[in-house]
Amino acid sequence: MRAVRVFLVPVVVALVWSVAGSSAYGFVTLKGYNGKDIYWDKAVIKWYLHPNGSSDVSFQELQSAVAAAFQSWKSVPCFTKQFSYEGTRTSDPQDGVYIRFVESNWDSSVDGAAAYAMTWKNNWGGGEKITNGVIVFNGQDVSWSTNPDLSPMSYQSDIEGVTAHELGHILGLDHSRELDATMFFTGGGTSMRTLEDDDRNGLCFIYGTFTQGKPCDSCNSDSHCASGICLQYPDGATYCGKDCWSNAQCPELFYCYALSSGTDQCVSNNTYCNQQGKNIALGSFCYGMETCQSGLCLVAYGDAYCSRTCTSDSVCGSLKCANGYCMKQGTKGFGEVCQSHHQCASQVCWLQSPDGVAYCSKSCSSQTDCPAGYACSGQYCITGGSGTYKADCEEDTECQSLLCFDPGNGDSFCSQKCSGDSQCPGTDKCALGTCSPIGSVPFGGPCQSGTDCLGALCKGFGATRYCTKTCAADTDCPGNATCLTAGYCSQASDIPKPCTDSAQCSEGQFCREMAGGNYGQCVVKCNAFADTGCSEGMDCRWVYVAASNQVLGECVTADPSAGTEGDECSQGLPCRPSLICAVLDQGTGHCYRDCKVGSGLGCSPGYDCVSANIAGDPLHGLCLCAGVCDPVITEPEPDVITSPDVVSSDRWTAPDQSGSGQDQKGPPGVDTSDPALADDPYTPLPGSPSQGSCSASPHHAGSSTIPGVLVVLLLAGLWVCSRRGRRHGRALPRHEP
pLDDT at residue 181 greater than cutoff 60 = yes
Three-class secondary structure of residue 315 per DSSP: helix
Kind and range of the H or E element at 164?
helix 159-171
Whether the CB-CB separation of 70 and 45 falls below 8 Å is answered with no
pLDDT at residue 132 greater than cutoff 80 = yes
Whether the CB-CB separation of 548 and 680 falls below 8 Å is answered with no
What mean pLDDT, rounded, does the chain reach? 79
pLDDT at residue 728 greater than cutoff 60 = no
pLDDT band at 648 (very low <50, low <70, confident <90, very high): very low
Instruction: Pick the range with the lowest mean pLDDT from 205-209, 323-327, 575-579, 701-705.
Output: 701-705
Alpha-carbon distance of 451 to 710, in angstroms, equals 59
Which tops the pLDDT comparison, 4 or 229? 229
Q: What are the φ and ψ backbone dihedral angles of 222, each rounded to 5 degrees? A: -60, -25
Whether the CB-CB separation of 15 and 114 falls below 8 Å is answered with yes
**If you average pLDDT over each of 240-254, 343-357, 375-389, which comes out highest?**
240-254
Going from the C-alpha of 483 to that of each of 428, 468, 471, 473, 478, the distances in angstroms are: 21, 10, 6, 5, 10
Please give the full DSSP string across 669-737, using - where no structure is assigned.
TS-TTSGGGGG----PPTTPPP-SSBTT----TT--S--HHHHHHHHHT-----TTS-----SPPEE--
Section 88-99 average pLDDT? 96
Alpha-carbon distance of 353 to 335, in angstroms, equals 12
523: closest CA among 544, 502, 542?
502
pLDDT digits (tens, 9 = 90+) for 322-348: 888 999 988 999 989 888 888 898 888
Section 38-67 average pLDDT? 96
pLDDT, residue 622, reads: 92
Which tops the pLDDT comparison, 455 or 60? 60
pLDDT, residue 173, reads: 95
Which tops the pLDDT comparison, 361 or 496? 361
pLDDT, residue 690, reads: 34
pLDDT at residue 381 greater than cutoff 60 = yes
**If you average pLDDT over each of 507-516, 676-685, 704-713, which comes out highest?**
507-516
Which tops the pLDDT comparison, 379 or 164? 164
pLDDT at residue 667 greater than cutoff 80 = no
305: closest CA among 319, 315, 323, 324?
319
Which tops the pLDDT comparison, 231 or 397? 231
Please give the full DSSP string across 562-583, using - where no structure is assigned.
SB-TT-EE-SSSPBPTTEEEEE
pLDDT at residue 640 greater than cutoff 80 = no
pLDDT digits (tens, 9 = 90+) for 594-610: 999 999 899 988 899 99
pLDDT, residue 44, reads: 97
All domains of the chain in start order, with CATH:
8-210 (3.40.390.10), 396-476 (no CATH), 527-737 (no CATH)
The burial of 43, by beta-carbon neighbours within 10 Å (0-12 exposed, 13-18 middle, 19 or more buried), is given as: exposed
Which tops the pLDDT comparison, 256 or 636? 256
pLDDT, residue 384, reads: 73
pLDDT, residue 683, reads: 31
pLDDT digits (tens, 9 = 90+) for 17-33: 333 333 346 788 888 77
Instruction: Pick the range with the lowest mean pLDDT from 316-320, 423-427, 553-557, 727-731.
Output: 727-731
pLDDT, residue 515, reads: 65
pLDDT at residue 724 greater than cutoff 50 = no
Alpha-carbon distance of 363 to 321, in angstroms, equals 13
Alpha-carbon distance of 457 to 703, in angstroms, equals 51
pLDDT, residue 628, reads: 67
Section 492-507 average pLDDT? 82
pLDDT band at 205 (very low <50, low <70, confident <90, very high): very high
pLDDT at residue 140 greater than cutoff 50 = yes
- Contacting residues for 688 by C-beta, under 8 A, at least 6 apart: 700
Instruction: Pick the range with the lowest mean pLDDT from 6-20, 394-408, 540-554.
Output: 6-20
540: closest CA among 566, 510, 503?
510
Instruction: Pick the range with the lowest mean pLDDT from 138-147, 195-204, 292-301, 640-649.
Output: 640-649
pLDDT at residue 234 greater than cutoff 90 = no
pLDDT, residue 673, reads: 41
Q: What are the φ and ψ backbone dihedral angles of 200, each rounded to 5 degrees? A: -65, -40
Going from the C-alpha of 30 to that of each of 9, 172, 175, 206, 667, the distances in angstroms are: 8, 5, 9, 10, 102
Alpha-carbon distance of 579 to 595, in angstroms, equals 9
pLDDT at residue 456 greater than cutoff 80 = yes
177: closest CA among 205, 196, 151?
196
Section 53-82 average pLDDT? 97
Q: What is the pTM of this model?
A: 0.53
pLDDT, residue 9, reads: 28
pLDDT, residue 719, reads: 30
pLDDT band at 65 (very low <50, low <70, confident <90, very high): very high
pLDDT at residue 733 greater than cutoff 80 = no
Section 293-312 average pLDDT? 92
How open is the CA angle 113-159-82, to the nearest 5 degrees?
110
Which tops the pLDDT comparison, 208 or 446? 208
Going from the C-alpha of 225 to that of each of 104, 240, 259, 508, the distances in angstroms are: 46, 6, 17, 94
Alpha-carbon distance of 730 to 706, in angstroms, equals 8
Alpha-carbon distance of 735 to 678, in angstroms, equals 23
pLDDT, residue 693, reads: 33
pLDDT, residue 26, reads: 75
Whether the CB-CB separation of 696 and 627 falls below 8 Å is answered with yes
96: β partners: 46
pLDDT, residue 353, reads: 58
Alpha-carbon distance of 336 to 628, in angstroms, equals 98
